[in-house]
């Protein structure tokens, strides 16, 4: 999908405002749900980077985690807060640009989720740095996103390869974490109007030692 021009906040505000329904559905991402189902995943707190209109943060809060969520779009954050209220959960939601956002001093989370943050290489790198630095000992960094191979499928996700992931980049960016799984391949997405059909994705989970 072609990137529109303008700041990230303006572009995403426009997309969310124009959407008659949640852009990526209200159900949580499948990979995030699979990680929560693992016997060795016992995190009680989570930081969701680029949580959009809130499906993942709200669901994690329903599972009993204390959730903080960051997204650049004020429109998405308002919708996410409305979703939280409908679900009867409380999520600490912050509207901020991840190119500049710094977690409050001393804050750490037992899990960090980055689900479909398809920014430029610089933005993705910053999100990975912030996420890894925010992990408590033993904490999980979990990511799903469109892979470079998705550039050949113009129906979904960005077509600019700079906005797509590969596993090499993730391994290189997170040398201090112990990889639990690092997968690239084809899945069928059923996530609202924007993520529907076959897609080439990466799924990556790693833990801070200790
Ligand atoms: C494809 S959506 C995914 C939203 C959510 N993670 C989900 O899976 O439902 C990408 C999100 O990244 C956010 N985003 C893009 N650039 C950002 C930035 N620089 N800082 C924070 N969030 C950003 C957008 O506002 C949008 O909500």
Q: What is the pLDDT of residue 6?
A: 63
Fold (topology level) of 8-207:
Rossmann fold (3.40.50)
* Beta partners for residue 136, in sequence order: none
Cα 164 to ligand 1 centroid, rounded to whole Å: 14
pLDDT tier, 2 (very low <50, low <70, confident <90, very high otherwise): very low
Among 154, 204, 192, smallest CA distance to 54 is for: 192
pTM for the whole structure: 0.96
pLDDT tier, 154 (very low <50, low <70, confident <90, very high otherwise): confident
The token duo for 48 is 């969701």
Cα 106 to ligand 1 centroid, rounded to whole Å: 24
Q: Which of 35, 52, 78 to mutate to test the pocket of ligand 1 (most atoms within 8 A of CB)?
A: 52
| Percentage of residues in the chain having pLDDT higher than 90 | 92
pLDDT digit string, tens, across residues 179-189: 999 999 999 99
1 pLDDT higher than 60: no
What is the C-alpha R_g of the chain? 16
pLDDT top residue among 164 and 7: 164
pLDDT tier, 4 (very low <50, low <70, confident <90, very high otherwise): low
Cα 116 to ligand 1 centroid, rounded to whole Å: 7
Mean pLDDT of the chain: 95
pLDDT digit string, tens, across residues 73-93: 999 999 999 999 999 999 999
Ligand 1 nearest atom to the CA of residue 25, by list position: 9
Cα 19 to ligand 1 centroid, rounded to whole Å: 15
* Residues at CB less than 6 angstroms from ligand 1: 8, 12, 24, 29, 50-52, 55-56, 71-73, 76, 97-99, 115-119, 123
Q: How many CB atoms are located within 10 Å of the residue 38 CB?
A: 12
Contact 183, 204 (CB under 8 A): yes
């Amino acid at each position: 999908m072609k990137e529109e021009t303008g700041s990230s906040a303006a572009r995403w505000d426009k997309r969310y405002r124009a959407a008659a329904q949640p852009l990526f559905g209200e159900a949580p991402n499948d990979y995030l749900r699979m990680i929560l189902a693992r016997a060795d995943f016992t995190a009680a707190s989570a930081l969701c980077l680029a949580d959009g209109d809130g499906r993942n943060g709200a669901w994690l809060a329903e599972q009993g985690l204390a959730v903080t969520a960051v997204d650049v779009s004020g429109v998405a954050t308002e919708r996410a807060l409305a979703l939280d209220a409908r679900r009867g959960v409380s999520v600490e939601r912050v509207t901020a640009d991840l190119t500049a956002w710094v977690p409050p001093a001393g804050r750490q989370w037992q899990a960090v989720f980055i689900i479909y943050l398809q920014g430029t290489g610089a933005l993705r790198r910053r999100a990975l740095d912030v996420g890894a630095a925010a992990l408590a000992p033993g904490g999980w960094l979990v990511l799903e996103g469109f892979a470079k191979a998705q550039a050949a499928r113009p129906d979904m996700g960005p077509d600019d390869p700079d906005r797509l992931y590969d596993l090499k980049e993730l391994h290189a960016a997170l040398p201090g974490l112990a990889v639990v799984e690092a997968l690239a391949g084809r899945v069928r997405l059923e996530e609202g109007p924007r993520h529907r059909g076959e897609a080439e994705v990466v799924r990556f989970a790693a833990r801070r030692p200790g």
